[in-house]
Structure 1
Amino acid sequence: MTDDLADLAGLFQGPQSSTEAARAARGRGGRAALLIIAIILVLALGSAGGYVWWALNAPLPAPTSSSHTPDPPTTPAAVIAVPTEVAASALSLSGAEEYLGKTPGIWAESGTNDPRPMASISKLITALVVLERKPLANATDPGPTIRFSKADHDLYDQYYVKGATIAAMPTGSSMSEHDAIAMMLVPSASNYADAVSTWAFGSRGAFLSAARKWLAKNGLNSTGIVEPTGISPQNTSTPSDLIALGRLAAAHPAIAAIATQTSIEIPSIGGFSNTNNLLGVEGVTGLKTGNLGTGSHNLLYTASMNVGIGEPLQVVGVVLGGATGGAVDDNVRTLLASIREGFDQVEVASSGQVVGHLETAWGDEARMVIPSSASLLTWSDTPIEVSMKIETPKTFADGEVVGSITWTAGPNTTTSDIRLEGTIGQPDEWWRLTHPRLLGAE
């Protein structure tokens, strides 16, 4: 019954038109297109979100690094002003072997090593021989008392006639051995050298015999002595022997202490100045002048020079046959100054000196710098070597230590950090989103 009614209704409505069928078909196609567009939009939005996430989190390209080891500075060769307007000179050094080379003997010299008159340098031999026979306990020990006889007093006139340096020695006066030694070394009184050597050995002949044995024992085989004062030109020695004599004298506490005094005061006799006018100049500490007139001025000297190496540089030198005492002094002063000037604090780096750069693809930059100036003590033209090590920064922050640099010259080395100047930061989001080709590589 129901189906019949439906059929009857269909008859009343009649068949559908073609227009209505087309409209129905279009409705179904539109819905499919919208579905496809929606699917595409969903996929596109999902892909864009993935790109954004990737771009904002992808590894950044490493900064590019460039560095250069700076060239080391060079220094001029020291010009050692060895005396040339004298008969001969020699110099020995100790205390700076790492700089100057091993120096057990003569370090610099001029002239020849022939025997020449040593004049009053002879009094050092006299003092050393006397002190071996009559030793002092220490540098200030007065020692035994010496009483001067009329024969001793007569020496004053004898040496006065010869033109030698003399000092009063009244008959019956007395003096400690220490002071008598000082009289022969500081003002270079010849009558004291003669009197003291005779006091110690009983006669001049006995003294000379002992002196020659002492010279042989100490290897001074090119030194000859015929009297205790040096007034005779037959008292001769070579530069190398005199350097050895200087070392012996400098090692004797009493002689070294006496020789360094610019003046002495002797009770009942008075004050006397040292004939060595260089004491205290360029570190000179002794030892003895010698003078036989024009063209025969000598100086055996010691010096303790602070040249910046820690312990002072110890010098023993001799000049023989200078025109005048003043010329000899000038030669020695110039020579010692030239040695001092050969040591130099060389600046190897300046504060803020750039040795490298860091750059990033997004425009950040930082410099690798030596944070403070550095210097190195060198001798003469000793080459300065430099080495540098750069490490990958960890934080890329301003001030971070990224390496080190080391300079070496002879025995000395100095090292400085290398630090970043400037900070390497992160790029902004826009740079990440617009530079996909630079991203993704660790």
Structure 2
Amino acid sequence: MTAVHDSPGEPADAARERSDARRRRRLRRRRAITFTMIGVLVAAAAYTALTAIAPLPVSAEAASASTTIRPAAVQPAFPSWGSAAVGMVGQNDVLVKNGSMASAPIASMTKTITALVLLDKHPIATGTEGPTITFSDADVDILHQVWAEDGSWAPVQAGEQLTEKQALTAMLLPSANNYAISLANWGFGSVDAYLAYTNAWLASHGFTGTHITDPSGLDPGSVSTPIDLVGIGKLVVANPVLASIVDTPTADLPGAGTVDNGNKLLGQDGVVGIKTGWTDQAGHCLLFAASVTLHGHPVKLVGVVTGAPDYTNLWTDVPTLLKSVEAGFHEVTVGASATGYGTYRSVWGQSATLKSERSGGIFVFSDTPIRVTVRSAPVTLASPGDDVGTVTFNGGGQTFSSPLTVSKAVEDPGLGWRLTHPQLLVP
């Protein structure tokens, strides 16, 4: 207890009042210190609580980008002579082409057009061979005419009867000009009526570079373009009757006897037809089709080569061209990527790569572009397995999509970072 010393002559009551005042001042100071400390502690607690629960800023840059994959371009082994074009069933444009694409004589490849228009006018019902055609003395006269022209032919006799399919076989396999003319007369009433129907049919199918002046192709006025011929070849292999005929090595026919397919590549390298041709004006030609499996995908190629100096060149150079085109198809693996599809970078120093956990394939020809589109959402925190976006691949008419996730977790930075970075937490 503090002693109270009264000044000499000072009343006792005054001394007590001064002592009480001093005690009140000390009490006020202690209370002020206490309240200040409590205030500081409350403020610190509130700050800690607020920063602990404050929403974090978006922790990364959201990726949204498009890139393009371009596989290696094909290097076609075109013949050193003539013109060539190769297409694929199911695709409108030709895959590769070389030489003149102008209209030119097409020789006996004309007979594929004769066959198509005949079946357009007189279709053969499934499971049948079509109506029976009885050949007459007029057809024998046509044979004599073809002999005089030194054209290709097959035997015919007056009274001979063949089904429509057999007659088409006699025309296509040995490339018999006389059967082409006889079928034009049978199917349309006359060659002139055949020509009117055929050229209208060609125009209706968009074959604007093709014009026919005779049913067999001996006349150099029967012309087409390599691109049109690829389209015509596609129609041949799409027709079940014609596809079976042009893929037949040999056939025994009533009256006509045994006829052999002039296409010496048939059965080699997947070749399933279609038609040879030769005249002085056209050179040696081949309209061909091949069924192959490439990277697990069934593919039917249709092509044409014209202007070869002889058939030996055709039998040698067409397989080389086919193999080079087939080598131009790619199965491009897409999806999983070693480098990922962008990076999330948090403001507190963490980063994580966007990755795809699914792989797929896009089947394309040559340098067909594959467009890669990345879409990702802004995130705050993320864990591996979380769906944070999508990567999509489009090419060659195909689409493959895969979810995106993160390579590692983007985690809460913790209380220590929150306490020292309030400016990034409070808007």
Quick check: which has more Rg, 1 or 2?
1
Pick from 385, 407, 423 the counterpart of residue 409 of structure 2: 423
Is the contact made by 2:58 and 2:379 (CA closer than 8 Å) also made in structure 1?
no
Equivalence for 1:57:
49
Distance 1:410 1:134 in 2: 37
What runs of 5+ residues in structure 2 fail to find an aligned partner? 203-208
**Pairwise mapping of residues 15-414 of structure 1 onto structure 2 (< 5 A)?**
31=23, 35=27, 38-59=30-51, 60=54, 62=57, 64-66=59-61, 72-75=67-70, 78-79=73-74, 81=76, 83-90=78-85, 95-97=90-92, 100=93, 108-111=97-100, 113=102, 115-116=104-105, 118=107, 120-121=108-109, 123-124=111-112, 136-138=124-126, 140-141=128-129, 143-144=131-132, 146=134, 175-186=162-173, 188=174, 190=176, 194=178, 201=185, 212=195, 218=201, 222-225=211-214, 234=219, 237-240=222-225, 243=229, 246=233, 254-264=241-251, 274-279=261-266, 284-291=271-278, 296-302=283-289, 315=302, 317-336=303-322, 344-347=330-333, 349-351=335-337, 353-361=340-348, 365-372=350-357, 373=359, 376=362, 380-381=366-367, 385-393=371-379, 396-408=382-394, 414=400
Residue 392 and residue 129 in structure 1: after superposition, are their counterparts in 2 closer, same or farther (change >3 A)? closer
Give identity over the alignment, percent: 24
Residue 64 and residue 272 in structure 1: after superposition, are their counterparts in 2 closer, same or farther (change >3 A)? same
Distance 2:114 2:395 in 1: 45
Q: What per-residue deviation string (whole Å, max 9, x for no partner) do you get for residues 62-82 of structure 1? A: 264245666724425744638
Residue 175 and residue 415 in structure 1: after superposition, are their counterparts in 2 closer, same or farther (change >3 A)? closer
Q: What per-residue deviation string (whole Å, max 9, x for no partner) do you get for residues 36-95 of structure 1? A: 564255224413421341233123552642456667244257446384523334566774
Residue 42 and residue 185 in structure 1: after superposition, are their counterparts in 2 closer, same or farther (change >3 A)? same
Offset at residue 239 of structure 1 (A) = 3.4
TM-score by length of 1: 0.63
Aligned length: 399
Distance 1:290 1:135 in 2: 25
Offset at residue 283 of structure 1 (A) = 6.5
1:53 alignment partner AA: A
1:42 alignment partner AA: T
3-state DSSP of counterpart to 1:401? coil
Residue 423 and residue 86 in structure 1: after superposition, are their counterparts in 2 closer, same or farther (change >3 A)? closer
Is the contact made by 1:402 and 1:419 (CA closer than 8 Å) also made in structure 2?
yes
TM-score by length of 2: 0.65
Q: What per-residue deviation string (whole Å, max 9, x for no partner) do you get for residues 212-249 of structure 1? A: 55555556975444xx767x6x5663332972765775
Residue 425 and residue 264 in structure 1: after superposition, are their counterparts in 2 closer, same or farther (change >3 A)? same
Distance 1:30 1:257 in 2: 122
3-state DSSP of counterpart to 2:406? strand
What runs of 5+ residues in structure 1 fail to find an aligned partner? 1-14
Offset at residue 299 of structure 1 (A) = 1.1
Is the contact made by 2:370 and 2:393 (CA closer than 8 Å) also made in structure 1?
yes
Offset at residue 402 of structure 1 (A) = 3.1
3-state DSSP of counterpart to 1:42? helix
Distance 1:213 1:17 in 2: 145
